[in-house]
Homo-oligomer: A and B are copies of this chain.
């Protein structure tokens, strides 16, 4: 259900972008007094043009108990507006402990997807896979991350090919038994900042959604993504955080209007890049 819903929503909106609510206190414009107020304003302005928001929990954890409260209030507000919610938590732990992490997120109504780190192997991920079926949720497993040093571990050569390809293979295999319509509940994370790697990962993970960070502020472009994916826009979610949240700083508009305009402009740029590629 969830993967079909995601696919339908992206298709209807004609927009694979998700807005990353990685809100820091110093992002708040004059006159906005809390993170939840800011996030709610952003959500109100983009709920009808994107399928999902991604909430990076680190910025909320930084502010302790109060921050965690704001994390959940943001997730609930987005959910109430009809958006799907990705909790970007990148959790990983041994089996018993993973059960607790999975319950923490996947058992909650306000969260649809979480991100996970594969370093501990299958049994650290299995509780999330089980809960994805139980609660009709999905997960995205880190394959190739968008940061500069991601190659330190992820590009080490394992039997003739980079580790991220081995991980992509494993994720595709694990995901094959958790299909929901045409796509698996188990997706991957592959950064827009490494288009060659993204292309190889897409080649391996054909039935898995790819969550693509690194667009915009980190340097990945619409052309990079369109080229990497050979003009096929299906099965992807592209995250943009700062470019949307801080769009108001480069305009004279209210932060909400600036955010909406930015999302609509990114959507057009992306369609253009993919159309150029296809033609």
Q: Which residues of A contact B (CB under 8 A)?
A: 22, 24, 56, 58-59, 61-65, 68-69, 72, 90-95, 97-98, 100-101, 103-104, 117-124, 142, 145-154, 156-159, 163, 166-167, 170, 213, 218
Contacts and interface: CB of A to CB of B under 8 A. Distances in A.
A124 B104 contact: no
A127 to B, nearest CB: 11
Nearest to A67: B104
Q: How many copies does the complex hold?
A: 2
6 pairs of A and B residues whose beta carbons are closest in the complex: A121-B152, A121-B149, A94-B147, A123-B149, A58-B100, A122-B149
A56 B94 CA distance: 11
A206 to B, nearest CB: 22
Given A61-B100, A62-B100, A104-B64, A157 B159 contact: yes
Contacts of A64: 68, 72, 104
Contacts of A72: 64-65
Contacts of A149: 120-124
A214 B101 CA distance: 19
Contact of A68 (B59, B65, B97): B65
A104 B157 contact: no
Contacts of A93: 56, 58, 90
A171 B218 CA distance: 26
A147 B127 CA distance: 13
Contacts of A59: 97, 100
B117 A92 contact: yes
Nearest to A218: B94
A90 B142 CA distance: 15
Contacts of A124: 145, 147, 149
A159 B100 CA distance: 36
21 contacts: A56-B93, A58-B93, A58-B97, A58-B104, A61-B101, A62-B100, A64-B68, A65-B65, A90-B93, A92-B117, A95-B148, A118-B119, A118-B153, A119-B145, A120-B145, A153-B163, A153-B167, A156-B158, A157-B158, A157-B159, A163-B163
Contacts of A159: 156-157
Nearest to A146: B94
